[in-house]
Structure 1
Amino acid sequence: MANYDWIVIGGGITGAALSYELARQGGSVLLLEKEALPPSATRYSYGGLAHWAGKTPLLKALGEEGIHRYRTLSEELEADIHFRELDLLLPIAPGYSVENVEADLADCRIPPQRISVETACELEPLLNPLALEGVLWARHGHIHPWLTTLAFQKAFQRLGGSLLLQTVTGLRRQGQQITGVETPTGCYGAAQVVVCAGGWTRALLRQAGIWAPIYFTHAESLELEPAEVRLRTIVMSAPVQRLELERQAGHPDRDPLWDKPGQEICPPILDVGILQFLDGSLRLGQISRALTDPQAEVDAAASEAQIRSQAERYLPAVAHLPGRWRHCLVAFSSDHHPLVGSLPGWEGLQLFSGFSNPLAIVPALARRFAQQAYGQADEWLPSLSPARFAGSSAAAPLPQG
């Protein structure tokens, strides 16, 4: 059985960035990903870098650190990640007041500014002015998420890291210690196993009899084919309703429901979002559903119609372009902060997951994680440890068998 210092489960943006940083520290690292192009949250991400949006001292610091890192990341990784900075327009969704949304965002690292409908339409001529009762503006970062992930993976391999396309079928466990992983073709051992499996993290841990305070939504969006029409901005309705859905779905009182099949923890929401990548393709979304079965089926045709209808309100020129419905799982915790570090009660097992909005902060956190693992104390990571939920009655390890 091959043995490593680290096994990282999940080759999306979180796992790829973390593997790269651990290899930079000199560790022997195995990165496991089940597919070359998995239908994951990274693959279907908008690619937005909301570095301005943090409200806590931690998220503000990581947002600032993250955007500075992205400005030189293509050079560091020796690959074009399509980094750019764009105008973000935040039209206020029906039923919300501009004043209340503006007040709610006032404590962000860089609070969005209110602009006139006329100014918004100058920035984005394709906007429908009749749909705009109020608009906020911010400067927003953007990358191509999958090109960035590939860049991390390739840089990781140049450092001597091993990338295998294998499905992790289980964790190897001796008592309360995780010693490696199992795949259909063999077993691999490691001093530390880090789960970076996003929305699949909870199911993987539960299969091994391990509880963690991590949940997931089913995210639905449309991937539109490259078009001649060109957007100048990113358009995202405000407020982001997904954050409230995550707060409700991750409430401790609802935790027992997450292990019952066929449950819908709370009603779905639709946050209107429209952006265009450099190749001309577009992303429209997104519906979020708190369904407890990671393989739950939803009505794709109905979802597509709903997304297109809401997108048409703001950008009628793009709402009916040809494309495909996409679906993935998005992990989250109940307090909007990721789970980074050792899981209480377990040796050899760490989490780097629960990022409901990962892109802006993952490279910074991955570097901090790796530096701390090799002896450099970090001021922020202790507050992200899963141990912050240790008081939950559900946190005790499950019995074997």
Structure 2
Amino acid sequence: MAWIVPISARVLTVQIALTTIADWGLLLLAGNLQDYDRSGQSLALIKGYTTMAHFDWIVLGAGITGLPLAYELQKVGQRVLLLDKVLAPVNATAYGYGGVPYWSGTTPLLQQLCRESRALLGTLAQELDGATEYRELDLLLYLQAGDDPQGLEQNFRACLTPPTLLDQATVLALEPQLNPAIITGALTVPHGHIHPIKTLQAYRQAFLRLGGEIKLATVQRFLHQGDTLTGVVTSRATYAAPNIVVCAGADSRALLSRIGVDLPLYFSQALVLQTPPLAQRLAPLVMPARFARLALEAQASSLDWSTPTDTVQAEVLEAGAIQFLDGHYLLGQISQLVTHPAYQPDPIASEQRLRAAIAQVLPNLANVPAQLHHCRVAFASPNPLVGQVKTRPGLYLFTGFSSPFCYSLPLARHFAQAVTTGHDAIFTTLNQQLQALDAKQ
């Protein structure tokens, strides 16, 4: 059975949905609204045109899920339109650590994707003809007083590559900046790392070279025939496609709610410190061995997301650090469960808390110049949402990845494989999981 029926040249008769997606803004770039053609050249904004443009796929969201998927679909011969409110994301992709935990899969499906991710990233820069800064480095999952080393080691036994337990002396030899008064040991494992923004830039240019199109515009309404989605109306034009895939990160939940789709897709609020390039060198990626954020995400399904509030329902603070190849750092992360998408944390108090936590683990980095950044991070429970929403024909999801730099890239290829051949075992498994969730709505 084929998953996709490419759009024909016929004119679609459509009914305009009454839904307005008001929270998708237009990009103001250097004072001008801009668009990009297939060569990547900037085009002037043409106001008021209403031509119906036809595509095989409309991909909503140009982050680390949407761009790879758009590229893979275009590569297998689909005509793809990529829509987003900004060209350069100011979101979880931009402020992500860029870690690729290809060692961490705990099920046969995830372990296969981990192997594929490592192999894919090893050649991706060459394929895209652009920099990704992919490298492999040590991940140090540090232990503190009160931690149970053997118990934490046991937590990772099911992983594709279980981390190795190290004593304090070995850990401090590997990374001298760690605080010997706090760090009692660590678990370590080889770990991948990319530069998220450069990787997106490489995907974007490769997508455009293949003939893909990117539009920066506000999505105002969905087109539909009965329950079947057939396109979107933006502030600039109308676009028709038999397949619309939501890859909009933390905006995905709002998009889906406007068309009556309620799935276990949530977001957290994240705060991190970003430094300029610094002379201090940090060799490994440093993170706590206790993954408190996973426990926080597990609480999301118990919250009332239908009535958003600014109340912090739960939070964790993790003192981690990664240094990129140009010398800049990302330091720490506060993760908060707050249901209101426009929530604004206290920037002064948040920075103070992050610096205090970093001082305990990496004291030399506690007072370096840094800027606080805040974004939302999408996640789904228990797995990412990948596949077709059966109750809304024409609607697909590719969102909710807890480790997007690892899993979204190979999964984009599996998605495209399903499009061209009509079958793909991994896509089929995730699609069945999504449809089971959809049936419970």
Superposition deviation, residue 266 in structure 1: 3.6
Q: Residue in 1 aligned with 2:436?
A: 388
Residue 93 of structure 1 deviates from its aligned partner by 4.9
The 3-state SS of whatever aligns with 1:128 is coil
CA contact (8 A) 1:218 1:289 kept: yes
Q: What one-letter code is carried by the residue in structure 2 that aligns with 1:307?
A: L
Distance 1:171 1:69 in 2: 35
Give the secondary-structure state (helix, strand or coil) at the position aligned to 1:133.
Answer: strand
Contact 2:65-2:398 at 8 Å conserved across structures: yes
Report the Cα offset of residue 140 of structure 1. 0.7
Q: Which letter maps to 2:436?
A: R
Answer yes or no: is the 8 Å Cα contact 1:212–1:343 preserved in 2: no
- The superposition leaves residues 278-317 of structure 1 with CA deviations (integer Å, 9 ceiling, x where unpaired) of 1111001211111111111111211111111111111111
Equivalent AA in structure 2 for residue 357 of structure 1? S
Describe the SS at the equivalent of 2:181.
helix
**Residue deviations 1:79-113 (CA, integer Å, cap 9, x gap):** 12101100111102554311221111111110000
1:344–1:390 Cα contact (<8 Å) kept: yes
- Superposed, 1:70-81 pairs within 5 Å as 70-81=121-132
Q: State whether residues 145 and 182 of structure 2, in contact with CA within 8 Å, keep that contact through their aligned partners in structure 1.
A: no
**1:202-248 deviation digits (Å, cap 9, x = unpaired):** 01111233222211111111111111111111101112111111112
Q: CA deviation at 1:376?
A: 4.5
CA 1:319–1:174 in structure 2 vs 1: closer, same or farther (change >3 Å)?
Answer: farther
- Match of residue 28, structure 1, among 75, 79, 87: 79
Distance 1:308 1:168 in 2: 39
Q: Which residue of 1 aligns with 2:231?
A: 180
CA contact (8 A) 1:93 1:239 kept: no
Q: Distance in 1 between matches of 2:416 and 2:91?
A: 24
> What residue identity is the alignment partner of 2:70?
S
Distance 1:364 1:202 in 2: 23
- The alignment status of 1:7 with 2:49, answered yes or no, reads no
Q: Which runs of 5+ in 2 are unaligned?
A: 1-51
Distance 1:285 1:172, change over 3 A: farther
**TM superposition shift of 1:333:** 1.2
Aligned to 1:360: 406
Question: Residue 142 in 1 paired to residue 193 in 2?
Answer: yes
| Structure 1 residue runs without a partner (length 5+) | 396-401
Kindly tell me the number of residue pairs found equivalent between the two proteins: 388
Give the direction of change, closer, same or farther, for the CA distance of 1:45–1:92 in structure 2 (3 Å limit): same
Aligned twin of 1:96: 147
Q: CA deviation at 1:114?
A: 0.3
Q: Secondary structure at the match of 2:338?
A: coil
* Residue 330 (structure 1) aligns with: 377
Matches within 5 A, 1:311-350: 311-335=358-382, 337-350=383-396
Residue 71 of structure 1 aligns to a residue in which SS?
A: helix
Aligned positions of 1:1-400 closer than 5 A: 1-93=52-144, 95-250=146-301, 254=302, 257-262=304-309, 264=311, 266-335=313-382, 337-385=383-431, 386-390=434-438, 392=440, 395=441
**Could you tell me the TM-score, scaled by structure 1's length?**
0.93
**Cα distance per residue 1:36-55 (max 9 Å; x no partner):** 22211111110000111111
Q: Percent identity?
A: 42
Q: Secondary structure at the match of 2:157?
A: coil
Question: Using a 3 Å threshold, how does the CA distance of structure 1 residues 342 and 318 change in structure 2: closer, same or farther?
Answer: same
CA drift of 1:379 comes to: 1.4
Residues 87 and 233 of structure 1 are in contact (CA less than 8 Å); yes or no, is this contact kept in structure 2? yes
Q: 1:167 to 1:62 in 2, by over 3 A?
A: same
C-alpha contact 2:389 2:438 (8 A) present in aligned 1: no
CA 181–265 in structure 1, closer or farther in 2 if over 3 Å, else same: farther
Alignment partner, residue 398 of structure 1:
none
Q: Secondary structure at the match of 1:313?
A: helix
1:353-377 Cα distance to aligned partner (Å, 9 max, x none): 0112210111110000011011252
Q: Distance in 1 between matches of 2:169 and 2:91?
A: 38
Contact 1:248 1:266 survives alignment (8 Å): no
Q: What's the C-alpha RMSD, in Å, of the aligned pairs?
A: 1.5
In 1, are the aligned partners of 2:179 and 2:363 still within 8 Å (CA)? yes
TM-score, normalising length: structure 2: 0.85
- Greater mean alpha carbon deviation, residues 202-211 or residues 9-18: 202-211
What SS does structure 1 have at the residue aligned with 2:277?
A: coil
2:135, 2:284 → 1: CA distance?
11
Whether the 8 Å contact between 1:9 and 1:168 is mirrored in structure 2 is: no
Instruction: Summarize the Cα distance change of 1:214–1:372 in structure 2 as closer, same or farther, 3 Å threshold.
Output: same
1:63 deviates by 0.7
- Note if contact 1:217-1:329 (Cα within 8 Å) is conserved in structure 2: yes
